[in-house]
A and B are shown apart, each in its own frame.
Chain A
Amino acid sequence: MEANKERLRQNLTDKEYREQYADSTLVGDIAIQVQALRRQRGLSQADLATRIGSKQPKISAIETPRNGDRLPNWELGTLCRIAHALGTRLKIRFETYGSLVDELETLTTESLRRPDVEDDNVLFPRPPMPAPDPKAPERTRWIQELMIPWLWSDRLDIPRLIGWLQGHGLPPVGHEEEPYHWLLRGIAVKGPARDYLEKRFAERLAIVLGEQPDVQPIVDDAPDEFLLNLYWTCAGLIRPGFLGEQLWSAYRRLKGSKVSGAVRDALQGALVHNQFGETKPLRELWAPMVEKGRHYWLRGDEIVGYEGILLRHRSVKPNLETIFWALGRISKLWETSFADRQSRFKRLIEGTPELNSPDAVNQMINFASRSDSGWQEWARKLVMVDEEQKPPAPREASAGLRARAAPLSLKLRQGSVAVLAEWSPGQPLTGALYFEDAAFAPFGQQGFPTREPNVVVFLNAVLTELGNAQDVRPDFGFPARMLHARAYHLVQQSRQQPTLHT
Chain B
Amino acid sequence: MNREIWEFLVKGSDRVIQTWFREEIISKRDQAKLDVALNRLRSLDFQLVGPKLLAGPLRQGGKVYKLRIRCENRELRPMLCRGPMAPSEYTLLLGALEVGGRLKPQDAVLRASSHREELLANPHWRLPF
Q: Is A217 an interface residue (CB 8 A)?
A: yes
Contacting A at CB under 8 A, from B34-63, are: 35-37, 39-40, 42-48, 50, 52-53, 57, 63
Contacting B at CB under 8 A, from A13-56, are: 14, 16-18, 20-21, 24-25, 28, 32, 35-36, 39
User: Which of B11-19, B23-31, B93-101, B106-114 is found at the contact surface with chain A?
Assistant: B23-31
Classify the interface of chain A: helix, strand, loop or mixed: helix
Tell me the bound Cα distance from A32 to B41 in angstroms.
12
Tell me the bound Cα distance from A107 to B31 in angstroms.
20
Tell me the bound Cα distance from A326 to B16 in angstroms.
56
Q: Is A472 an interface residue (CB 8 A)?
A: no
> A32-B40, A158-B1 given as contacts; is B47 within 8 A of A21 (CB)?
no
Q: Say whether B28 contacts A17, CB under 8 Å.
A: yes
Q: Kindly provide the distance from the CB of B13 to the nearest chain A CB, expressed in whole angstroms.
A: 20
Q: Is A123 an interface residue (CB 8 A)?
A: no
User: Which of A66-74, A313-321, A415-423, A425-433 is found at the contact surface with chain B?
Assistant: A66-74
Return chain B residues, CB-CB under 8 Å to A246: 47
Q: Kindly provide the distance from the CB of B75 to the nearest chain A CB, expressed in whole angstroms.
A: 9
Q: Say whether A21 contacts B36, CB under 8 Å.
A: yes
- Sorting the interface of chain B by its residue count into under 10, 10 to 19, 20 to 34 or 35 or more gives 20 to 34
Q: Is A354 an interface residue (CB 8 A)?
A: no
Return chain B residues, CB-CB under 8 Å to A25: 36, 39
> A16-B29, A20-B33, A28-B40 given as contacts; is B45 within 8 A of A207 (CB)?
yes
Return chain B residues, CB-CB under 8 Å to A343: none
Q: Say whether B1 contacts A215, CB under 8 Å.
A: no
Q: Say whether A11 contacts B31, CB under 8 Å.
A: yes
Q: Kindly provide the distance from the CB of B95 to the nearest chain A CB, expressed in whole angstroms.
A: 17
> A107-B39, A107-B43 given as contacts; is B33 within 8 A of A35 (CB)?
no
Return chain A residues, CB-CB under 8 Å to B46: 210-212
Q: Say whether A67 contacts B1, CB under 8 Å.
A: no
Q: Is A455 an interface residue (CB 8 A)?
A: no
Q: Say whether A109 contacts B87, CB under 8 Å.
A: no
Q: Is B69 an interface residue (CB 8 A)?
A: yes
Report which of B37, B45, B63, B82 forms a contact with A210, defined as CB distance below 8 A.
B45
Q: Say whether B47 contacts A206, CB under 8 Å.
A: yes
> A20-B28, A216-B83, A218-B87 given as contacts; is B35 within 8 A of A109 (CB)?
no
Report which of B31, B33, B43 forms a contact with A108, defined as CB distance below 8 A.
B43
Q: Say whether A35 contacts B50, CB under 8 Å.
A: yes
Q: Kindly provide the distance from the CB of B41 to the nearest chain A CB, expressed in whole angstroms.
A: 11
Q: Is B122 an interface residue (CB 8 A)?
A: no
Q: Kindly provide the distance from the CB of B36 to the nearest chain A CB, expressed in whole angstroms.
A: 4
Return chain A residues, CB-CB under 8 Å to B44: 32, 107-109
Q: Is A3 an interface residue (CB 8 A)?
A: yes
Contacting B at CB under 8 A, from A92-131, are: 104, 107-109, 112
Return chain B residues, CB-CB under 8 Å to A32: 40, 44, 48
Q: Kindly provide the distance from the CB of B32 to the nearest chain A CB, expressed in whole angstroms.
A: 4
Q: Say whether A104 contacts B39, CB under 8 Å.
A: yes
Q: Kindly provide the distance from the CB of B30 to the nearest chain A CB, expressed in whole angstroms.
A: 8
Contacting B at CB under 8 A, from A187-218, are: 206-207, 209-212, 215-218
Return chain A residues, CB-CB under 8 Å to B121: none
Q: Say whether B47 contacts A210, CB under 8 Å.
A: yes
Q: Is A360 an interface residue (CB 8 A)?
A: no
Tell me the bound Cα distance from A372 to B100 in angstroms.
50
Return chain B residues, CB-CB under 8 Å to A16: 27-29, 32
Q: Is A8 an interface residue (CB 8 A)?
A: yes
Tell me the bound Cα distance from A142 to B9 in angstroms.
50
> A24-B36, A25-B36, A32-B44 given as contacts; is B83 within 8 A of A17 (CB)?
no
Q: Kindly provide the distance from the CB of A250 to the nearest chain B CB, expressed in whole angstroms.
A: 11
Contacting A at CB under 8 A, from B68-94, are: 69-72, 82-83, 87
Return chain A residues, CB-CB under 8 Å to B83: 216
Q: 18 A-B residue contacts at CB 8 Å?
A: A18-B32, A20-B29, A20-B33, A21-B35, A24-B33, A28-B40, A35-B48, A36-B48, A39-B48, A67-B33, A68-B72, A107-B43, A109-B48, A207-B45, A212-B46, A215-B57, A216-B87, A218-B87
Chain A positions within 8 Å of B, measured between CB atoms, are 1, 3-4, 8, 11, 14, 16-18, 20-21, 24-25, 28, 32, 35-36, 39, 63-64, 66-69, 104, 107-109, 112, 158, 206-207, 209-212, 215-219, 246
